[in-house]
A and B are shown apart, each in its own frame.
Chain A
């Protein structure tokens, strides 16, 4: 059967800049490479030590044997560090034209003027632009790249860095610990409400490179923050690797919304690790859109550590031709009366494979935990694939756990119903697909909701 839903329009993202990087590490991962990165970044001694220990761990751990097939990834070919020919500035006019043009096309400076309180832009391995409204710095809010944080807030970074995602967690966490570069650091003091979102945008331009940015966010008691992360890359014929790490600390009564729109090119292995530690009555809200990459394995994890801590996960995944997107969420209920909602939609088309994978664990220490999971999948044709793999491990008493999963196709009866109302077949199908993702779309930041509609870019033949 013919479906009318186009592949995601990638032209905007696929514009490659000429590689004008001023330094690239040798391909592959050796102690020399790690020492070299560390020296170039002027790491304090403890960070060099941390990197070398991570490298040791990396060598000891084998690749995961579950999930999407990542066997085509050859670490000996990945360039772990690419320094762009640009210093970090806080004025777009000082960003080299070529790099600025890229971010212009992606609409970042424009969004900054309209709807953001602070912006970070990373190009390959380094952050090239960073800004934050003075009003926020006056309230003690810190938003910088990780390297600056390591100089100006070394004690805080040292206290938190890779404590929530330790390098021994899995092979790519260890890799990240060894070669991480760039990323964002946010610190929101107790009681401060950051009303306008901060956004970091990660762009990987160099072919065959890896991006290993580290995002560390600490939201102190009673504070509030919305952080947006966007990522994209042009397409190359060699494999690029993204193994970023996101660590979020949500303190007592604090709230953090972390929105991501990931639109990597179709040669990207996206093996990202994201985790939040939520204290008493705190709230983490994940909003996650996965559209790009060749292979993704992404399961943002919420550790509900304090009594009454809450997690909301809202995600949409769209897998087209040649894509295998294995996404979902992890929730660990580790304290009494913690609660979580997981709500996801996945779409697969043109032979794409989308897997929803989740793990909910309720420990013995978490009586009266509440968790509800709702995952729905839509396959737009017969060659596409969709799997749902929810795992629940309940040890706590009086747990209230709900799970609802649906895998389906576009209902021909629903198409007929809309057509009897004068709506053309193509528009009817498009409406049904848009309706399917609507509960997620309405959670996205406005400009991204618009982008998602463009991304899903529905072909409307037989116009009204």
Chain B
């Protein structure tokens, strides 16, 4: 589904991604572990074409199509979704309007207002989001945890082929991580894929992890199965520094 070959990218003069390789197949869940500042968030942003980053080498293919020639919204319409580490606040646009507009943009279909509202309320209830939040402005005045749950709500509404989750569990208490984790489990099936960046094994509890990768200094230095998560949690990243 996603093929990344020898990807190099920089922000300003600073090279951040240095020869990254990653293949994600249909139905797979990949976990990326790595120290702060390793470039994990950069990878997510590059995959969606954030204008701050410039690709200086390598290739990205999504379902056989060169992703780098597509604009951000075109990538989203192809079925890539990013759950942000720090979701933006958009004053004046309600959660419901924003999500309906997005859904229409992604599916290319006119969405019926009342039916959409009903579906949205049901998903909000599953994620334990107060239904009143549908009428609130996008992320404005939301707590950190509420913003993250709102990202998962968007994941479930938009139902992409590939979900990128950038530390969706960071800053959440145990119960909130549980809700987020169940949300991702609800989304995932054999036809879609996830890349999950995390520092925390708890979010993976309900998820059948296919591969785990250790990400240091702009590339993947070690890949393995779910057991790698345990190794990192126990021993930290220093052991892999040496290996790289």
By a beta-carbon cutoff of 8 Å, the part of chain A in contact with chain B is 411-414, 416-425, 427-428, 431-432, 434-439, 464
Q: In this complex, what residue of A is CB-closest to B106?
A: A422
Pick the contact of B72 from A420, A431, A436, A437 — CB < 8 Å?
A420
Q: Does B206 contact A (CB under 8 A)?
A: no
Is the beta-carbon distance between A418 and B50 smaller than 8 angstroms? Answer: no
Chain B interface residue count: which class?
A: 20 to 34
Is the beta-carbon distance between B88 and A431 smaller than 8 angstroms? Answer: no
Q: Chain A residues near B76 (CB, 8 Å)? A: 419-422
Pick the contact of B82 from A420, A423, A435 — CB < 8 Å?
A420
Q: Chain B residues near A412 (CB, 8 Å)? A: 51
Q: In this complex, what residue of A is CB-closest to B107?
A: A422
Chain B min CB distance to A453 (Å): 13
Is the beta-carbon distance between A421 and B51 smaller than 8 angstroms? Answer: no
Is the beta-carbon distance between A418 and B92 smaller than 8 angstroms? Answer: no
Is the beta-carbon distance between A436 and B73 smaller than 8 angstroms? Answer: no
Is the beta-carbon distance between B72 and A416 smaller than 8 angstroms? Answer: yes
Is the beta-carbon distance between B104 and A418 smaller than 8 angstroms? Answer: no
Is the beta-carbon distance between B48 and A420 smaller than 8 angstroms? Answer: yes
Is the beta-carbon distance between A434 and B92 smaller than 8 angstroms? Answer: yes
Is the beta-carbon distance between A421 and B92 smaller than 8 angstroms? Answer: no
Quick one: CB contact mask for B145-162 with A, threshold 8 Å, 1 for yes?
000000000100010000
Task: Return 28 A-B CB contacts under 8 Å, by A number.
Answer: A413-B88, A416-B51, A416-B72, A417-B90, A418-B90, A418-B98, A419-B48, A420-B48, A420-B72, A420-B73, A420-B75, A420-B76, A420-B84, A421-B73, A421-B105, A421-B106, A421-B158, A422-B73, A422-B77, A422-B106, A424-B71, A428-B73, A431-B101, A432-B90, A432-B92, A434-B92, A438-B93, A464-B108
Is the beta-carbon distance between A420 and B105 smaller than 8 angstroms? Answer: no
Report, nearest first, the 7 A-B pairs whose CB atoms are least far apart: A435-B92, A438-B92, A422-B105, A421-B102, A419-B72, A422-B106, A417-B88
Is the beta-carbon distance between B91 and A419 smaller than 8 angstroms? Answer: no
A435-B93, A435-B137 are known contacts. Are A419 and B73 too (CB-CB below 8 A)? Answer: yes
Q: Does B215 contact A (CB under 8 A)?
A: no
Q: In this complex, what residue of A is CB-closest to B76?
A: A422
Q: Does B19 contact A (CB under 8 A)?
A: no
A284 to B63, CA, bound (A): 61
Q: In this complex, what residue of B is CB-closest to A433?
A: B92
Q: A418-B90, A439-B91 are in contact. List 17 more A-B contacts (CB 8 A).
A: A414-B89, A418-B98, A419-B71, A420-B73, A421-B98, A421-B154, A422-B158, A423-B73, A425-B71, A425-B72, A427-B101, A431-B90, A431-B93, A431-B101, A432-B93, A435-B91, A439-B92
Chain A min CB distance to B54 (Å): 15
Is the beta-carbon distance between A464 and B104 smaller than 8 angstroms? Answer: yes
Q: Chain B residues near A431 (CB, 8 Å)? A: 90, 93, 98, 101
A434 to B137, CA, bound (A): 12
Most buried by B among A416, A422, A423, A438: A422
Q: In this complex, what residue of B is CB-closest to A416?
A: B50
Is the beta-carbon distance between A425 and B73 smaller than 8 angstroms? Answer: yes
A436 to B92, CA, bound (A): 6
Q: Chain B residues near A411 (CB, 8 Å)? A: 88
Q: Chain A residues near B108 (CB, 8 Å)? A: 464
A425 to B77, CA, bound (A): 13
Q: In this complex, what residue of B is CB-closest to A345?
A: B92
Q: In this complex, what residue of A is CB-closest to B78?
A: A422
A464 to B101, CA, bound (A): 10
Chain A min CB distance to B80 (Å): 8
Q: In this complex, what residue of A is CB-closest to B83?
A: A420
Q: Chain A residues near B93 (CB, 8 Å)? A: 431-432, 434-435, 438
Q: Which of B89-131 contact A (CB under 8 A)?
A: 89-93, 98, 101-102, 104-106, 108
Is the beta-carbon distance between A422 and B92 smaller than 8 angstroms? Answer: no
Is the beta-carbon distance between A417 and B87 smaller than 8 angstroms? Answer: yes
A431 to B99, CA, bound (A): 13
Q: In this complex, what residue of B is CB-closest to A418?
A: B90
Q: In this complex, what residue of A is CB-closest to B104?
A: A464
Chain B min CB distance to A234 (Å): 33
Is the beta-carbon distance between A417 and B84 smaller than 8 angstroms? Answer: yes
A412-B51, A416-B50, A435-B137 are known contacts. Are A423 and B90 too (CB-CB below 8 A)? Answer: no
Q: Chain A residues near B89 (CB, 8 Å)? A: 414
Chain A min CB distance to B184 (Å): 17
Chain B min CB distance to A462 (Å): 8
A411-B88, A437-B92 are known contacts. Are A423 and B102 too (CB-CB below 8 A)? Answer: yes
Is the beta-carbon distance between A424 and B105 smaller than 8 angstroms? Answer: yes
A434 to B104, CA, bound (A): 18
A416-B51, A435-B137 are known contacts. Are A423 and B105 too (CB-CB below 8 A)? Answer: yes
Q: Chain B residues near A423 (CB, 8 Å)? A: 73, 101-102, 105
Chain B min CB distance to A417 (Å): 4
Is the beta-carbon distance between B90 and A435 smaller than 8 angstroms? Answer: yes
A439 to B140, CA, bound (A): 13
Q: Chain A residues near B77 (CB, 8 Å)? A: 422
Chain B min CB distance to A98 (Å): 41
Chain B min CB distance to A103 (Å): 33
Is the beta-carbon distance between A414 and B88 smaller than 8 angstroms? Answer: yes
Most buried by B among A413, A418, A425: A418
A414 to B72, CA, bound (A): 13
Most buried by A among B81, B101, B108: B101
Pick the contact of B90 from A414, A420, A427 — CB < 8 Å?
A414
Is the beta-carbon distance between A422 and B51 smaller than 8 angstroms? Answer: no
A411 to B140, CA, bound (A): 14
Quick one: CB contact mask for B43-73 with A, threshold 8 Å, 1 for yes?
0000010110000000000000000000111
Q: In this complex, what residue of B is CB-closest to A417?
A: B88
Q: Chain B residues near A417 (CB, 8 Å)? A: 84, 87-88, 90
Most buried by B among A419, A434, A436, A438: A419
A420 to B51, CA, bound (A): 12
Q: Chain B residues near A438 (CB, 8 Å)? A: 91-93
A11 to B77, CA, bound (A): 37
